[in-house]
Amino acid sequence: MVIGIIGNSTYFAHFRNRRAREFPGAVCQPEHPGLWTRWHISFSKWIRDYIFLPLGRQLFKTPLRRRPELIAAASYLVTFLAVGAWHGATPNFILWGAYHGVLLGAHHVYRKTLAARLAEQPFYFSAAAKIVLIEITCVAVAAGWILFLTPTPEAAVRLVQRMVGT
């Protein structure tokens, strides 16, 4: 009853509509970057414009310029360490940021190296492949939430141990 009243009130309609604009179908995407381009759009754009892109530009001025995939991976990692710190300067938030930075960096390297060879396979563009990619992304993001939601790294380890039955 209360949820129906809150859900239908004009006061909360503003927040429901804002949430729809800021988080349009964010979590279950076929690729990990899809999450971050759809999750809290204004914050993602700020992070991209003021951390990720300037850092990448600076790294292109170093000897790493011959390895642009490494520049992107390093930029993702540093950017998401900052995102983790923005959520809270605790070990879990920093680890959560590092986790997503590594996932995004690995995805970028995959797209620039292995994906072209896989695209030659007929399965690559099938609906089944898309479902598999969505499931992988959902599981990877859900695993990251463990770090985000637990108070300490030790609590995260205990929770994972309980989840897998060890």
pLDDT digits (tens, 9 = 90+) for 115-130: 888 888 888 889 999 8
Q: What are phi and psi of 11, to 5 degrees?
A: -60, -45
Q: How far apart are CA 102 and CA 121, in angstroms?
A: 27
The band of 45, judged by pLDDT with boundaries at 50, 70 and 90, is: confident
Phi-psi region of 62 (alpha: psi -120 to 50; beta: other; left: phi over 0): beta
DSSP 64: G
Q: How many CA atoms lie within 13 A of 107 on its CB side?
A: 20
* Higher-scoring residue by pLDDT: 39, 97: 97
Average pLDDT across the chain, whole number: 82
Q: How far apart are CA 9 and CA 119, in angstroms?
A: 48
Predicted confidence at residue 87, as pLDDT, reads 92
3-state SS string over 122-160?
HHHHCHHHHHHHHHHHHHHHHHHHHHHHCCCHHHHHHHH
Reply yes or no on whether the pLDDT at 22 is more than 90: no
Please give the structure tokens belonging to residue 24. Answer: 């349009």
Predicted confidence at residue 106, as pLDDT, reads 93
Reply yes or no on whether the pLDDT at 91 is more than 50: yes
Predicted confidence at residue 146, as pLDDT, reads 95
Average pLDDT over residues 8-25: 45
Predicted confidence at residue 19, as pLDDT, reads 46
Reply yes or no on whether the pLDDT at 31 is more than 90: no
